[in-house]
Amino acid sequence: MEQYRTRPPNDGPRRGTPPPAQSPAGKLPPGQLPPQARRRPADVRRPAPAAQRDPRQVRVTRPVPPARRVPNPRLTGLGGGLFCMAAMFLLGCLDQLLFGASLTVYGVLFLPVCVLTALWVRGGDLLTAPVVVPIAFAVGLFPVADGSAGFLSRMMGLVTGLATQAGWLYGGTLVSGAIVLVRRVRWVRRRRRRG
């Protein structure tokens, strides 16, 4: 008859493992687990340090765009002159197509262009705006002028338009000059404060 070796059950700790912490009385209170058995729930995770995070999971905070404002470009003297002349020529063509070359409509459209030109020219070239505005008025008046009989007739219509619409021309130039004067004073004051 064969006899099997029986080994006594090993209830003690294994070699190399620290003994479980015990309460001061030597026993754990009922229902409390030793520190090794206390584990965090699997769903609670600490965030990984910044060096170990996946760059695809990092949230990028983008700045909130500012409220939309009126465009505020800074044009040179030449750029302001080209803007004013091109705008007046296009408005003159539009007046010819839609309103049958009405000089009053053309004069009314001239005022906002004067204001924008005076506001958009940069500080160093402010004095060019009141000079460019009357030239742009004449350039834009060319498509509006009456000239059905040819080039000379159109030139006579241009001279007549300049003579009859001088009020709009002077008014636009005056508005542009006033805006430029205010901006120039503020620009000089700012430069003195910086200096």
Average predicted confidence (pLDDT) for the chain: 78
Residue 186 confidence (pLDDT) above 60:
yes
Residue 151: its pLDDT value, please? Answer: 79
Residue 69: its pLDDT value, please? Answer: 63
Q: What pLDDT digit, counting tens, does each position of 148-160 carry? A: 777 788 888 888 8
How far apart, in whole angstroms, are the C-alpha atoms of residue 140 and residue 161? 11
* The residue to which tokens 């912490």 are assigned: 21
Higher pLDDT, 93 or 194: 93
The whole-number average pLDDT for the span 135-150 is 85
pLDDT-based confidence at residue 6 (cuts at 50, 70, 90): low
Residue 78 confidence (pLDDT) above 80:
yes
Residue 48: its pLDDT value, please? Answer: 56
Q: Which residues, listed in sequence order, are joined to residue 75 by a DSSP beta bridge?
A: 121
**Residue 38 to residues 13, 26, 27, 28, 29, Cα–Cα distance (Å):** 18, 19, 17, 13, 14
How far apart, in whole angstroms, are the C-alpha atoms of residue 96 and residue 143? 7
The whole-number average pLDDT for the span 76-80 is 90
Q: For residue 75, report the phi and psi dihedrals to the nearest 5 degrees.
A: -95, 150
Q: In whole angstroms, what separates CA 37 from the centre of its chain?
A: 58
Residue 18: its pLDDT value, please? Answer: 61
Q: Which residues, listed in sequence order, are joined to residue 121 by a DSSP beta bridge?
A: 75
Q: Structural domain boundaries of the chain?
A: 77-194
DSSP letters, 10-76, are: --SPPTTSPPPP--TTSSPPTTPPPTTT----TT--PPPPTTTS-TTTSPPPPPPPPPP------B-
The whole-number average pLDDT for the span 34-49 is 56
pTM over 0.85: no
Q: What pLDDT digit, counting tens, does each position of 86-128 carry? A: 999 999 999 999 988 889 999 999 999 999 999 999 888 888 9
Listed range (113-122, 141-150, 169-178) with the worst mean pLDDT:
141-150
